[in-house]
Chain A
């Protein structure tokens, strides 16, 4: 799964630690999601969507290469 977390975070000038705090996860988890090494659960993805005030599909997209 691809995501725009890193871009959205940079646009808001937030650090990984600040985003981790806002989503109530560890900084390592944010790093792993940004690098595409870990796919968040639906509740966490919805939480991120609420935080960025965007539809979930604008943040997370299906990685078609994985199919």
Chain B
């Protein structure tokens, strides 16, 4: 039973890489958001560096996620595709309805993008769990 490359090893390596870049992106986002006010008193050069670092980490996260998806096997990729499709749909419908609710005065508060991100993250998580259960 010769093997070219071990699926589990590649998957674990890709997961670790994705975790590293996601952590880097979250930390750099926190730095870009809070450091100008609390650390360097809105120094423009440092703020631009902070933002550029955040964008670079975001790019790293995107590429790591792309590689993660490419190296998944066909069933895992199908589960991910279904979860991502549902997440995109829910994000679109919820996001636009949320904004509409404010326009037509059904809600008083200003819609926050973070609320849409939370709904999308929860949808993705549930869809992923359901997808894995479906093929168990």
Size of A's binding interface in residues, CB under 8 A: 20
The distance in angstroms between the C-alpha atoms of A47 and B28, with both chains bound, is: 44
Question: Quick check: is A32 within 8 A (CB to CB) of the other chain?
Answer: yes
Q: Could you tell me if B1 and A24 are in contact, using CB atoms closer than 8 angstroms?
A: no
Shortest CB-to-CB span from B101 to chain A, Å, is 40
Main secondary structure of the interface of A (DSSP, over half): helix
Tell whether, in the assembled complex, residue B7 and residue A28 are in contact, meaning their CB atoms are under 8 Å apart. Answer: no
Contact of A26 among B4, B5, B7, B134 (CB under 8 A): B7
**Do A38 and B3 have beta carbons less than 8 Å apart?**
no
Please tell me the number of chain B residues within 8 Å of chain A, measured between CB atoms: 18
* Residue from B1, B4, B73, B135 in contact with A37 in the complex, judged by beta carbons closer than 8 Å: B135
CB of A41 within 8 Å of the partner chain:
yes
Contact with A along B4-24 (1 / 0, CB 8 A): 111110010000000000000
Contact A28 B5 (CB under 8 A): no
B136 interface residue (CB < 8 Å to A): yes
Check B5–A24 contact: CB distance below 8 A. Answer: yes
Docked CA distance A52–B74 (Å): 20
Cα–Cα distance between A18 and B6 once the two chains are bound (Å) = 10
Given contacts A21-B1, A21-B7, contact A26 B73 (CB under 8 A): yes
Report the bound CA distance from A37 to B75 in whole Å.
10
Nearest residue, chain B, Cβ from A27: B8
B132 at the A interface (CB under 8 A): yes
Known: A21-B7, A37-B134, A38-B75. 9 other contacts (CB 8 A): A21-B1, A21-B3, A24-B3, A26-B7, A26-B11, A29-B73, A32-B135, A37-B135, A38-B78
Interface CB pairs A-B, < 8 A, 6:
A18-B1, A27-B8, A29-B76, A32-B135, A38-B78, A44-B74
